[in-house]
Amino acid sequence: MGMASIKRLMKTPAVAISDFRTRRRQLAFYRPLVPKNVLSFDVGANIGNRVGLFLALGAIVVAIEPQPDCARTLVRTYGRNTRFILVEKAVGAASGVATLRVPAASTIASLSPDFISATQESGRFSQYSWDRDLKVEITTLDDLITQFGPPAFCKIDVEGYEAEVLSGLTQPLRSVSFEFTPEVIDIALACIDRLDTIASYEYNLSRGESMEWGLPHWVGSTSIREILAMERYPSWGDVYARSKARE
């Protein structure tokens, strides 16, 4: 870092410096998964936290988000970027229509009654009430791949509906991530089961928003299942799977 950059940082508020460091850590974490000019899917894009990172890395981003308010925010924020594509649908095992339950916090809208009840009972989201129903159109990963091509990386964060999303996939992807929550850990285990029927994958995880690998090296499906089985509330995070045949 040059002297001019150091002087600029000295004049920058501490919060802005913290935000800069967080952003740099996020970009460094995703760079090996989302190299420049690749196609990526963001399933459950919400208002685009990951969309912005993937675009900053130079990827072509297909953001899949069924909530109208979130979709409008995505368009306002990223609509002028020619590498941004919005699909206003949810993703599941088969095409159709389903009921999305929406609380005050759009980030935890869910198609999974089991996820809602389990996270309320544990206290994780006990302050929320999923009191609004929204009919949403469902597509599948296979259909999205037919339309846009296979993504190099597919991020899935759909509050307990991850296994259904992967049930609509029948072809190997280079790398995938999906959320895990200890209250419904069987959902994450079902995701691993599904991926193992498609291709040979190795796994790692990242807890919370740490943007750090939770394991020193990538492991097989048996090991990651054992590790996830030991996770306890309030832990949560994302499992990452990469194909052994990715090169």
pLDDT of residue 74: 98
Q: Is residue 72 part of a domain?
A: yes
Q: Is residue 5 part of a domain?
A: no
Per the structure, how many domains does the chain have? 1
Q: Please give the structure tokens belonging to residue 137.
A: 């159109």
pLDDT of residue 64: 98
- 31 DSSP 8-state letter: T
What CATH number should be reported for the domain holding residue 70?
A: 3.40.50.150
CA gap 64, 145 in Å, rounded: 12
Q: Is residue 4 part of a domain?
A: no
CA gap 242, 247 in Å, rounded: 10
Block means of pLDDT (10 residues each) for the chain, 247 residues, are 47 62 95 96 98 98 98 98 98 98 97 98 97 98 98 98 98 97 98 97 97 97 98 97 82
Q: Is residue 7 part of a domain?
A: no
pLDDT of residue 84: 98
Taking only the tens place, the pLDDT of each residue in 84-95 is 999 999 999 999
Q: In what order do the strands lie in the sheet with 39-43?
A: 84-87, 60-64, 39-43, 153-156, 175-180, 237-243, 201-207
CA gap 247, 74 in Å, rounded: 32
Average pLDDT over all residues of the chain: 94
Could you tell me the residue range of the domain that residue 100 belongs to? 15-243
CA gap 119, 111 in Å, rounded: 14
Q: Is residue 3 part of a domain?
A: no
pLDDT of residue 18: 72
Q: Is residue 176 part of a domain?
A: yes
Q: Is residue 216 part of a domain?
A: yes
Please, which residues bridge with residue 132 across strands?
102
pLDDT of residue 4: 54
